[in-house]
Amino acid sequence: MAFEEFKSDDVVDAQIIEALEDTARWQGSRPVTGGGMFLVRSAELAYALSLDEKTVGDSLGRLEEKGWVRKSGGSLENPAPYWHILPR
């Protein structure tokens, strides 16, 4: 059993928020919102946090419902959506 299976939803959600807010983590050539927030794919978050993609996807869904993150469209080359933190 992987460690992330034992993490509570709140712990995973906090990790996702922290990762999306960490602009140093997402440097390089990547899309940004009009407000300067970096757009990140769920697979990138999963890899960066050593979590499985389902756990990250579930967390992003919860955070979107709470108004913490927003999903943005993908691209023609990769239709997987991007995610970004909503400034507070």
- The domain segmentation of the chain, as residue ranges, is 3-85
**Can you say whether the dihedral through the CA atoms of 34, 76, 16, 19 is positive or negative?**
negative
Separation between Cα atoms, residue 68 and residue 13, nearest integer Å: 10
What are the pLDDT digits (tens) for 10-66?
999 999 999 999 988 987 888 888 888 899 999 999 999 999 999 999 999 999 999
Say which residue the tokens 């499985």 belong to: 52
pLDDT tier at 88, thresholds 50, 70, 90: confident
- How is 7-27 classified by DSSP, letter by letter? S-HHHHHHHHHHHHH-GGGG-
pTM for this structure? 0.83
Write down the architecture of domain 3-85 according to CATH.
Orthogonal Bundle (1.10)
